[in-house]
Amino acid sequence: VQRLNNLKKRMHGLPSSGPFTAVVTDIQGWTALCAEHPELSSKVLSIHNSILRKARWNNFGSTHETEGDSYTMVFYEAKDAVAFCLQAQQMLSMQPWPSLREANSEEQSTHLMSSFENPVSELVRKKSCSNNSFAILNPLSISRRMKHHSTTSASSTCLDVRVRMGLASGFLVPGESLHGHPTIDLAKEVSDTAAGGQILMEGSTFSAIKDVLGELGTVDAQGMHLDRLRMRRVFSWPAFFLCRFIAPPSAASEDAVVLDMGTYTKSRPDQEQKQTRPAPNSSFPARSSRSFLLTPLSPKLSLTGYAQKSASPEELHLYQVLSAAGAERAKGWGSNLRLKSRLSLKDSLSKGYFDAPGTLAAPLGISKSPADASLPLVTTVFAAVEHARVFSSREIRHVERGLLACACTCLDQVKGDGYLCRSFGNLKLMLCFSKPE
């Protein structure tokens, strides 16, 4: 049945109605690359386009539009869109890109052709040089040769081509066009926020793929391998004798890693952005009990954050997705995002994963030694409302809003050191600090 559905998605092409997920990609620093090495830009773009087309075909997507190095692709399912990004990024990282030596060799061939076109002037130049016999011992010529040698050795390095990707999910009304659709614009905005090599998605896309992280964890440069997932399920059976005949699953079959990058608000063009404390009656999204800070709290770090759609269209909740094998790359980016001036952090309770203390030192994945002494010490605060069991559901919701507002105000007083790890439904909070004071 799944193969039949995939075949239908490939045959139908671009969606005409219903839910869809848009992916926008572009090469970081493409304009500078074209200006510095125009002779290599066409070769790099050709390789880049071939990789994206192959990953798009494997994951049943369609190209909506292209503009230079930028691609806009549309998928029927968010899982296919995320699988496309994971496969494409791994293919791009494994690709041997052209080196700067090729560019220099092409430049040298161009100079040779220009001298060949005017042989008379070349002979005159050689004759004048031969009259100056001391030119061989000229230190300037020696320094030029040394400079040329150092330039040649430095130019042997390959180009570092990094592609940023942004995903957004929406709904297409029958008769509505994809051109100018708000979901396409949102995907472009998310893509502009990412760094080269990074995959970012907004809250709706995360809500659609949060339950299929196991399937997405099987994606590599060749595509999705559901047989690895089935093998992992076999080993979850209480059948000890199977271990004698089947090799244990590899670490590459772990779940895909998703990191909460924070919630941001968009300021309206006709209003100045206001930086005020949250009112006691303002609502805050509660973090799910599935969210956690460090690996020892859970046997697997595949999901960090909470799945809740933005309560307002002026909010943008960002998540980062990575393969289990390349999860450590996220520490290089950290919490840095290329935010536009009209985007700002919603409040102190909406920080991203890397704003929590100790996350840069904690392993992203299964830790073989949970009690690692190299991990930094953190201070955990657990707060609970007394006699919360006697409250009604309406009273719990009202008290929870006040409790979160109080926690947000207190976090503002400690200059951003605190981080909300969990918010339980029975009026309990768990916060983490890097300093005990």
343 closest CA partner among 431, 427, 421, 265: 265
Token readout for 82 is: 């995320």
136 falls within a domain? yes
Mean pLDDT of 345-371: 81
- List pLDDT tens digits, range 292-345: 333 333 333 344 433 344 446 689 999 999 999 899 999 999 999 999 888 899
DSSP conformational letter for 173? -
Q: What pLDDT, on the 0 to 100 scale, is given for residue 334?
A: 94
Q: How confident is the model at residue 1 (pLDDT cuts 50, 70, 90)?
A: confident
Q: What pLDDT, on the 0 to 100 scale, is given for residue 422?
A: 86
2 falls within a domain? no
Q: What pLDDT, on the 0 to 100 scale, is given for residue 364?
A: 82
Q: What is the pTM of this model?
A: 0.77
429 falls within a domain? no
Q: Which domain holds residue 139?
A: 100-154
d(CA 80, CA 393): 39
125 falls within a domain? yes
- List pLDDT tens digits, range 136-159: 334 334 344 444 444 444 445 778
Instruction: Please name the amino acid found at residue 436.
Output: P
Q: What pLDDT, on the 0 to 100 scale, is given for residue 102?
A: 67
**220 forms bridges with which residues in the sheet?**
223
Find the angle CA(72)-CA(341)-CA(163) to the nearest 5 degrees: 30
- List pLDDT tens digits, range 8-50: 888 888 999 999 999 999 999 999 999 998 889 999 999 999 9
pLDDT at 189 over 70: yes
Structural domain total, the chain: 1
Q: Are 437 and 414 contacting, i.e. CB atoms less than 8 angstroms apart?
A: no
430 falls within a domain? no
Q: What pLDDT, on the 0 to 100 scale, is given for residue 7?
A: 87
424 falls within a domain? no
pLDDT at 396 over 80: yes
Token readout for 67 is: 């503009």
Q: How confident is the model at residue 55 (pLDDT cuts 50, 70, 90)?
A: very high
334 falls within a domain? no
Residue 270, C-beta contacts closer than 8 angstroms, at least 6 positions apart: none
148 falls within a domain? yes
Q: Are 253 and 235 contacting, i.e. CB atoms less than 8 angstroms apart?
A: no
- List pLDDT tens digits, range 65-85: 999 999 999 999 999 999 999
pLDDT at 429 over 70: yes
